[in-house]
Structure 1
Amino acid sequence: MKVSVIVPIYKVERFIARCVTSLMKQTLQDVEYIFVDDATPDQSLSILQEVLVAYPERKKYVKILHHKDNQGLPAARNTGLEVSEGEYIFHCDSDDYVEPDMLETLYNEALKNNADIVWCDWFLTFGQNERYMKQPNYNTPLEAVKAMLGGAMKFNVWNKLVKRELYQKNAITFPAGFSMGEDMTMILPFVFAKKIHYVPKAFYHYVKTNSGAYTQNHSERHLKDLQYNVARVEMTLRQRLGASLDKEIAFFKLETKFPLLIMGTNSQQYTQWSELYPDANEFICQNTYISFRSRMLEWFAWKKQWWIVRLYYWVIIKFVYGVIYK
């Protein structure tokens, strides 16, 4: 198999038909499709089976695996990795969809450039429109790692094609039981990669359907998950590269807690921001990977000028991104 596509399934009956159809229509042949049922309680599996009937030529390349109990997204990705046989791995979330030439383009670019990892641009897709999300280009894995830590490059799982041997040889798995921030795992293959390549075209549609409320109960669990995943990445970086990325790791911690400033105007979120990785705050102005506006927002938060943080939320997040761009 050239590529193994891993698709976790849980409560996606509204979206999975579009996702699976887009995968079945891929122009690349010799693709293995691994669907992992994470004990979904809805009709997602029935819909999956209905779509697959229309593509009998793909049937022998499809694996459907089942979790007896819901284990979460990271565990589902790991289940797929364990049985994958493709030269490269591609992760696709089952509420998203892809362009038909995505796998062929990325795979051919990987071969052409002898790349361990290939990444591309993507679409942030809303109900009525979408935004083109441009990604940066870097020539070496270390440059890409620094950019992901600093926030200039996204460490999403679904816009990257990664050689399977990078996962196998370096025992890279996703953090089962710690779902929030699980995509930070994608930094790790870059740490071990020898050659990488960027494709300046968008193929993946990340469907933004629910801005969601960040409740107190969820935030406490989410923060614990985030801290676990940050520590996990930091440990690997220090084992592999020593103290050479101290500054970038501080940037990483700042980026991890940044959403607390733009997810609402709850004073408890601001308190959580202040208490999370306070030692990283002194690096705020040094992080040129992100915009000056974002650095200023963090700086005002550091100085506890919460009225400016609230104003930013209402003007930029709610009005500009919530009304104009949505």
Structure 2
Amino acid sequence: MYLISVIISVFNVEKYVGRCIDTVLGQTMQEGVEVIIVNDCTPDRSMEIIFEVLCAYNARPDEKKMTVHVVNHDMNCGIAAVRNTGMSHACGKYVIYVDSDDWLAPDMLEKLYGKAVQENADITICDYNEVYYTRTKQIHVNPPCDNTDCVIALLSGQMHGGVWNKLVKKELYDRYHITCTKGMNMLEDLCVTYRLFYFAKRIAYVNKPLYNYFCGNEYSYTTKHLSNKSQEGMLLLIKQMEMFFKKEKTNDIKLRTAFQYFRIGVVSTILLNGEKPIITSLQMEEKFPFGTILHHPSLSVFFKTAMLFHRLHISGGVTILRSLRGGIRKR
């Protein structure tokens, strides 16, 4: 068994993947680390670049090196399926995912693993940098110590749901059968992280930005308009969460409020970012209270206003907001 399994997804990232793999292989912690690279039928030169980097790495005289596996999909399946494929091959006591357009601080694995062992943590989180073309923003996570409070922070948008700054005991995935939903390529990380935190007993924190989250990849799911398939996946996650909390008989008032915030966040995102928003054609079983919309802890004014227009059935207002938001993004 390895100490850490690092799972890297690869699709259309030839501009960035060399940097990513370099920083993973260049970690101060080498022994006991396996790297699983999952090729999701990338059509570009990403894999050629990866093999060039691996060739240089293998030529190094170091006695202790990471073990690297390359797994190839027969067809393009999307990020959620890639996550599941990587996990099915992982043999580490701890697991972490890395997006191939991002990169790591040299001591990220060493710092996270040391903290995880020291505190016997199920999940160990670190700060990270949001990297744009013209600026870098350091994000201080400062997660709550209580696992339920962490779920609340995730659902209300106060803590990022990404798996890439979280070292997790593989046993937590295995014991509770936690996997990504295949085809859900928006919020696929959150589909996993809210359940991980719900079942976690101990949570540790490294107060240092060890991960660089790149926000400039035009091919990233998070930078594109939401297709109908992506929107359907987001709405499916809402239903899955409803079923999960019902099964777990969760009655925490704060958690229920946070889930309401999450629903509002999803609907407003679809209204503003959907190519053809399908939310307007749905019969919403529940009317979102105006107060809950206005007091959402993390939504911007744009998104809150979109929700208010939707709540009042003013579709023209949503259209104007979409146009304004599109104009601002192009600047």
User: Does structure 2 retain, via aligned residues, the 8 Å contact 1:6–1:91?
Assistant: yes
Alpha carbons of structure 1 residues 212 and 114: separation in structure 2 relative to 1, 3 Å: closer
Secondary structure of the corresponding residue to residue 248 of structure 2: helix
Normalised to the residue count of structure 2, the TM-score between the two structures is 0.84
Alpha carbons of structure 1 residues 294 and 105: separation in structure 2 relative to 1, 3 Å: farther
**Which residue pairs with 1:199 in the alignment?**
206
**Which residue pairs with 1:31 in the alignment?**
33
Q: Does 1:153 align with 2:153?
A: no
The answer for unaligned runs of 5 or more in structure 2 is none
User: Does structure 2 retain, via aligned residues, the 8 Å contact 1:3–1:32?
Assistant: yes
**Which residue pairs with 1:189 in the alignment?**
196
Number of aligned positions between the proteins:
316
How far the C-alpha of 1:62 sits from its partner, in A, is 0.6
**1:33-66 C-alpha deviation (Å, 9 max, x unpaired):** 0001112222211111110122225766111111
Q: Which amino acid aligns with 1:260?
A: I
Q: Does 1:299 align with 2:308?
A: yes
Q: Which amino acid aligns with 2:257?
A: K
| CA–CA separation in structure 1 for the residues paired with 2:54 and 2:315 | 52
**Which residue pairs with 1:116 in the alignment?**
122
How far the C-alpha of 1:163 sits from its partner, in A, is 0.7
| CA–CA separation in structure 2 for the residues paired with 1:253 and 1:280 | 11
Alpha carbons of structure 1 residues 272 and 35: separation in structure 2 relative to 1, 3 Å: same
**Which residue pairs with 1:234 in the alignment?**
242
User: Does structure 2 retain, via aligned residues, the 8 Å contact 1:10–1:44?
Assistant: yes
- 1:59-138 equivalence runs, <5 A: 61-138=67-144
More helix per residue: 1
**Which residue pairs with 2:15 in the alignment?**
14
**1:89-133 C-alpha deviation (Å, 9 max, x unpaired):** 110011111111111111111122221111222222122322223
Normalised to the residue count of structure 1, the TM-score between the two structures is 0.85
| CA–CA separation in structure 1 for the residues paired with 2:280 and 2:105 | 38
| CA–CA separation in structure 1 for the residues paired with 2:97 and 2:230 | 22
| CA–CA separation in structure 2 for the residues paired with 1:155 and 1:95 | 17
Alpha carbons of structure 1 residues 200 and 277: separation in structure 2 relative to 1, 3 Å: farther
The answer for unaligned runs of 5 or more in structure 1 is none
Q: Which amino acid aligns with 1:51?
A: V
Q: Tell me which moved more, 240-249 or 226-235.
A: 240-249
**Which residue pairs with 1:208 in the alignment?**
215
**1:264-287 C-alpha deviation (Å, 9 max, x unpaired):** 8x8x54x73684756251262475
**1:239-265 C-alpha deviation (Å, 9 max, x unpaired):** 22434343332222112223235438x
Q: How many percent of aligned residue pairs carry the same amino acid?
A: 30
Q: Which amino acid aligns with 2:212?
A: H
Secondary structure of the corresponding residue to residue 182 of structure 1: coil
Alpha carbons of structure 1 residues 89 and 180: separation in structure 2 relative to 1, 3 Å: same
2:229 aligns with one of 221, 232, 235: 221
| CA–CA separation in structure 1 for the residues paired with 2:194 and 2:143 | 15
Q: Tell me which moved more, 152-161 or 252-261.
A: 252-261
| CA–CA separation in structure 1 for the residues paired with 2:128 and 2:90 | 25
Secondary structure of the corresponding residue to residue 228 of structure 1: helix
| CA–CA separation in structure 2 for the residues paired with 1:40 and 1:59 | 27
